Amino acid sequence: MKLLLTGGRLVDPATRHDGVADVLVDDGRVVEVGPGLEAAGAEVVDCDGLVACPGLVDLHVHLREPGREDAETIETGSRAAALGGYTAVCPMPNTDPVADNAGVVEMVAARGREVGLVDVFPVGAVTLGQRGVELAELGAMARSAARVDCFSDDGLPIREARLLRLALEYTRAFDAVIADHAEDASLTDGAQMHEGEVSAMLGLAGWPAAAEEMVVARDLLLAQLTGGRLHLCHVSTGGAVELVRAAKARGVRVTAEAAPHHFTLTDEAARSYDPVFKVNPPLREKADVEAVRQGLADGTLDAIATDHAPHAREDKEVEWAAAPPGMLGLQTALALSLTELVGQADPERSVQTGAGGDTRPGHLGLPTAIERLTAGPARCRRLPGHGGPVAPGAPANLAVFDPVAAWTVDRAKLASRARNTPFHGRQLRGRVVHTLLRGSFTVRDGQAQR
């Protein structure tokens, strides 16, 4: 299928392109990029007024298959991802069974290919059964057909410094990444929300910022000691952002992500006692939200990752203390980024002019926001063909969106099997129009094609 995307504003962080350009796609690949292209026999897709960019990349999702297909499946999660503008997602290994061996990661990758809505790059577990006792067969997963290049015990921290050190040393041989969920569990036993004024007032057990920052500090020291590649999941506190900034300045091989709920919501949301706002790490304070925004603006935080965590209604719609932590994210991440990071001050003006150099605190120009959703996450791992460039010869993995269209989040209309979005009823700007995976529409005019 030959497609000519005409008249859109092409924002490609990999080539620093930002301007109106046509994109010609043939046989799954980008063939030509430039103004006023003509191509006999190509179907013309009018992108006037829209933004075209590389397909979005999500480093951190939970697709719940195998084991909890009542909450989400690789198919429903892939559909939510495509509708969110994504062409690549990285599911975490905390499934049942745990993805701690070649068989499970190969099954997840194969199911992703079969569904065919996004490329699925599974993350393998660091320790057997995520029990934190002995290393899983990292080499076997790396050599498997799934070619795993990232390992994590996410959901849980790697408690023992010795094991994290071993993993960082061992994975140097195949240049893989260890992604840690930074939480000192001895400080968060029974914790229900961020520890601060609100938790004190509500009488809920607190999850102190120090429990995240201590582990971030430890992890950074071990990355420095071993020379291994460390990635920090869902950074949520100002202190953690500062630690990453200082480590990067002294050359530690570290990358880091932040989740949309951590740059949009605060612990004040817990006052509702609605467990849809319960998440791990928890929603923090306003100063932390500002620090996360600033970390994304200056590149301390490389990527926006959703930590999409669907839960079945009977599990999540219970009293706060009994509810599992986690929120949906795939269909709202782009719009939250545009509304909250780009359009904070003056949505019309900043979206339309949006060059990178806006220096208001916590404010990102449109190209920078797109970088944190595409090339930034792609750089944290090996995800061939994703994150750009949008250039001749590259696979045509693309998202096309309307940067100013307003819409209201309706949990009943999301493609996920679960309903636990904390953004139900919220009006956002920025709507995905088309998503292309290797030149085929996975989403067209806002509709999933499968």
Chain residues binding Zn ion by CB under 5 A are 154, 181, 233
DSSP string covering 271-308, please?
Answer: GG--GGG--SSPP--HHHHHHHHHHHHHTSS-EE---B
Give the C-alpha separation, 5 to 22, whole Å. 5
Q: What is the radius of gyration, based on Cα positions, of the chain? A: 21
Name the residue whose CB lies closest to Zn ion.
Answer: 181
| Of 136 and 215, CB closest to Zn ion | 215
Q: How far is the CB of 182 from Zn ion (least distance, A)?
A: 9
CA–CA gap between residue 50 and residue 101 (Å, rounded): 43
**Closer of 31 and 265 to Zn ion (Cβ):** 265
The two three-digit tokens of residue 257, written as one number: 């992500």
Nearer to Zn ion, 233 or 247 (CB): 233
SS3 for 324?
coil
CB of residue 35 vs Zn ion: minimum separation in angstroms? 44
User: Has 307 been annotated as catalytic?
Assistant: yes
| DSSP structural state of residue 356 | T
Task: Determine the Cα–Cα distance for residues 164 and 186; give it in Å rounded to an integer.
Answer: 17
Shortest Å distance, C-beta 55 to Zn ion:
24
DSSP three-state, residue 233 = coil
Nearer to Zn ion, 181 or 429 (CB): 181
Q: Which of 22, 58, 307, 315 is catalytic?
A: 307
Q: What phi, psi does 219 have (nearest 5°)?
A: -60, -40
Beta bridge partners of 19: 10
Q: Which residue, among 134, 133, 103, has the nearest Cα to 122 in the 3D structure?
A: 103
Q: What DSSP designation does 42 have?
A: P
- Cα gap 6→384, rounded to integer Å: 26
The nearer residue to Zn ion, 75 or 154, going by C-beta atoms, is: 154
- The residues assigned a catalytic role are 307
